[in-house]
Amino acid sequence: MENLRYPIGKFECPEQITSAHIDQWISDIEMLPIKIINLVSDFSEEKLKTTYRDGGWTARQVIHHIHDSHHHGYIRFKWALTEDAPIIKPYVEQLWAELFDAKSAPIHLSLDLLKALHAKWVYFLKGLSDDDLKRTFIHPEGDVSISLAEDIGIYAWHGNHHLAHLNIIANI
């Protein structure tokens, strides 16, 4: 069950984040929309209703969740660059995934938004300085300080994590 829940494992941040890590993570973020679009473009309505594990989300919910989460991520980067270690507002992703749009909206709505969001986000990320990457925000769940460098890795992992869920569904 843990292999289905975390098919690529949990995110492990390197002790020393290098420019090579940042470049790879930004590349992962850049390529995610096209990878998802290529994978799910032929999903039938039945396939969109399929879960990657018992108790997991459907393909449709995963797709809408990725956009919701990454939209939050983009805003968190902006806060961290314009405020001094802001406390971000988390959201209850499990409840968002139960909202009617996550369960019924056409996937192209989130795929189109994800493609545009990632294009702008990647442009933004490539312009960050070393000092910018050190800026932080506070996640209130655990009162954890997260640097923008680490958060790039978290979101690269997050996208690949859910891409792996969609791959599981594609192969069912």
Contact 13, 146 (CB under 8 A): no
Residue 59 lies in a domain: yes
pLDDT of residue 2: 78
9-42 residue pLDDT tens? 999 999 999 999 999 999 999 999 999 999 999 9
Residue 21 lies in a domain: no
Residue-by-residue DSSP string for 6-56: STT------SS--HHHHHHHHHHHHHHHHHHHHHHTT--HHHHT-BSSTT-
pLDDT of residue 64: 98
Structural domain including 116 reads 29-170
- The count of domains in the chain is 1
Residue 13 lies in a domain: no
Residue 8 lies in a domain: no
Give CA–CA dist 146/33, Å, rounded: 25
1 pLDDT more than 80: no
Query: What is the band of 81 on the pLDDT scale with cuts at 50, 70, 90?
Result: very high
Note the pTM of the prediction, 2 decimals: 0.97
Residue 7 lies in a domain: no
Residue 5 lies in a domain: no
Residue 113 lies in a domain: yes
Give CA–CA dist 149/106, Å, rounded: 33
CATH number, residue 91: 1.20.120.450
Residue 18 lies in a domain: no
